[in-house]
Amino acid sequence: MIPINRPIIEKEEKDAVQRVLDSLYLTDSSFEGGKFVREFERQFAEFVKVKHAIAVNSGTSALLAALLALNVKEGDETMAPGFTFAATATTSLFVKAKVKLVDIEERTYCIAADKIRENITSNTKTIIPVHLYGHPAKMDEIMEIAQGNSTFVIEDAAQSLGSEYKGRMTGSIGSVGCFSLYATKVITCGEGGVVTTNDDEVAERLKMIRSHGQHKTYDSKVLGLNLRMPQIEAAIAAEQIKKLDRFIKARRENSKFFNEELSKIKDVITPVEEDYAKSNWSIYTIYVKGKRDEIVQYLRENGVGAVVYYPIPLNKLPLFKDSSPRLPNCESAAEHVISLPVHPALSQDDRVKVVETLKMAVKKFL
């Protein structure tokens, strides 16, 4: 089976883990974090070109910490796309905010700026655009809407580390950026996340929030949790980020090959890269015009680890279905998309197998 993703763990990561173990310095609850965490944060901030990067233990924790740091609370409203991983929206429920789901663009699967404009209210505290599959949302339009309505923007950049919008890194444009280092992401330390910001006060709050609201030991000043990144994960991530350019280069080459080959197949729509965007191609996602589930099953039965991200739009989930409208583009995407392996470990034989197996599946079912 060609897996949908494969972490690339090499000697450098293994040596880094051993250094942490040898040091017996496995965690640190201080405001600034341990030395391995601080080094990773320095590298991350430099890569994304922001003043501050605050490491946490997951992408979900990054989103929750961002909401808390921006003081999103009961009575506030957050706005998010209806086609994304659930955490983009469910984290708002933990701070008792109301979630308003809006539709996406057909071409990029990112939140539609015109739908934000139509649905924003005086209660909208935060807009949460998702750079889905690694493709940047239209940040200029989103920032203009937000600034005109005194609204924060939390970039959900979980899948877009290294992607660029008009030459700017995703996660560096909004009030806050949130990243994931889960095992399926472009770099990984197993579990982990990062929050980025250029706001000094927000950064200080984030550092307190990730460690029980403390600035000094036992002086909890704000509501916080244990969202800290352990030292072992930070040491792995510090080695991974050094390789990120190489990983993205390989993903872009693989995506180019797939776009050239799969665009020849009738009834398959290949993903786009708009002229304002440079994608990291975190996830390579096609749109098939019918029989999606049968095609996925055929691919998997024949050794291609195809996956559906995401089969249920958020407006159809029990948590949101009673308060959300129909979202036609979200619902269409959920019914028709298939994600294919695009990770750097693919060989040329793997790439050819993905293409040929998809051709056979489409011929069989469409």
Cis peptide before 109 (omega within 30 of 0): no
Q: What are the pLDDT digits (tens) for 322-350?
A: 989 999 999 999 999 999 999 999 999 99
| pTM of the full structure | 0.98
Please choose, from the candidates 58, 62, 49, 18, the residue with its C-alpha nearest in 3D space to the C-alpha of residue 36: 18
At residue 152, the pLDDT reads 98
Closest CA to 228 of 214, 210, 212, 202: 210
Q: What angle do CA 49, 51, 52 make, to 5 degrees?
A: 110
Residue 44 tokens, joined: 């991350």
In a domain, 2, yes or no: no
Domain boundary among 226, 243, 260: 243
Give yes or no: residues 69 and 195 share one domain: yes
Indicate if 180 and 252 belong to the same structural domain. Answer: no
Residues 43 and 177 in one domain: yes
The reply to whether 6 falls in a domain is no
d(CA 47, CA 155): 16
**Residue 59 shares a structural domain with residue 81:** yes
**What does pLDDT average to over the chain?**
97
**Domain match, 210 and 339 both:** no
Domain match, 78 and 132 both: yes
Does one domain contain both 41 and 140?
yes
Asked if 212 and 122 sit in the same domain, the reply is yes
CATH of the domain at 310: 3.90.1150.10
CB distance 125 to 77 below 8 Å: yes
CA-based nearest residue to 236, from 2, 83, 15: 15
222-262 pLDDT, tens digit each: 999 999 999 999 999 999 999 999 999 999 999 999 999 99
Do 293 and 170 sit in the same domain of this protein?
A: no
Residue 39 near residue 20, CB atoms below 8 Å: no
At residue 144 the predicted structure's pLDDT band, cuts being 50, 70 and 90, is: very high
Report pLDDT digits (tens) over 101-118.
Answer: 999 999 999 999 999 999
- Residue 126: CATH number of its domain: 3.40.640.10
Q: How many CB atoms lie within 10 A of CB 212?
A: 19
Q: Which residues contact 201 (CB under 8 A, 6 or more apart)?
A: none
Print the domain residue range for 256.
Answer: 244-365
Average pLDDT for residues 1-11, to the nearest whole number? 97
> pLDDT grade, residue 182 (50/70/90)?
very high
Question: H or E element: which one contains 154?
Answer: strand 152-156
Domain final position from 176, 210, 243:
243
Residue pLDDT, tens place only, 13-52: 999 999 999 999 999 999 999 999 999 999 999 999 999 9
The residue-averaged pLDDT of 156-173 equals 98
- Together in a domain, 198 and 254: no
